[in-house]
Chains A and B, each alone.
Chain A
Amino acid sequence: MKVLFLAHTEEDGSLGKAAAEALGAAKGLGGELVIGLFGAEVQKAADSVAGCGAVKFYGVAGPEFATARYGSDAAAAEAIAKAAGAEIIVAPSTSRMSRVAAGVAQRLGAKIDTRLTGLEAVGGKITATRWFYRQRMVGKIERDARPWLVTTDTGCFAPCEAAGSASVEMLTVAPATRSQVVEIIAPAADAQTIRPDAKLLLVAGAGWGKSQADGQKHVDEAARLILGLLSATQASLGSSKSLVDQSGEGAALPFLTHMHQVGQTGSTPRHPKGLATCCHGEEPHVVGWRFVGERRAINLDANCGWAQGKADVLYVADAFAVMSKLVDLLK
Chain B
Amino acid sequence: MKGLQIVVLGSIVPDPLQTLEPVSGPTGPALKNELMLPAVLDPWAGHALYEAANLAKKVEGKVYLVALGPKAKLQQVMMNVAQKVPFEIVVLDGPASGFADAAETAAALAGGVEKIPGLDKSKLLVFGGWQSASRGTGAVLQMVGELLGITDQFQGVDEIAMAEDGSFTVLERIEGGSYQKSSCQGAPALLGWATGNLPEPPNNPQVGMQNMRLIMPALAKATPAPLKGEGLKYAGVELPSQRRETRVVKNAPVEDIARELADWIRA
Contacts and interface: CB of A to CB of B under 8 A. Distances in A.
A275 B143 CA distance: 39
Contacts of B250: 302, 316
Interface string A102-142: 11011100011111000000000001000111111111111
A310 interface: yes
A112 B252 contact: no
Given A98-B138, A181-B182, A258-B194, 13 more contacts: A111-B101, A133-B136, A135-B240, A137-B20, A140-B235, A142-B233, A142-B235, A145-B231, A179-B154, A184-B179, A309-B244, A314-B249, A317-B249
B3 interface: no
A298 B139 CA distance: 38
Nearest to B31: A133
A326 B171 contact: no
25 contacts: A99-B142, A100-B153, A102-B138, A106-B147, A111-B231, A112-B103, A114-B139, A132-B98, A132-B136, A139-B235, A179-B182, A186-B179, A258-B158, A259-B173, A264-B43, A284-B16, A295-B244, A296-B264, A302-B250, A309-B246, A312-B247, A314-B246, A316-B250, A322-B257, A326-B262
Given A102-B143, A315-B252, A309 B177 contact: no
B151 A329 contact: no
A101 B139 contact: yes
Question: Looking at chain B, what size class is its interface with the partner chain?
Answer: 35 or more
A323 B146 CA distance: 50
Contacts of A245: 199
A167 interface: no
Contacts of A127: 235
Interface of A: 67-71, 74, 94-96, 98-103, 105-107, 111-115, 127, 131-145, 176-187, 192-196, 200, 233, 245, 248-249, 257-261, 264-265, 273, 275, 282-284, 290, 294-296, 298, 302, 306-318, 321-322, 325-326, 328-330
Name A's interface SS.
mixed
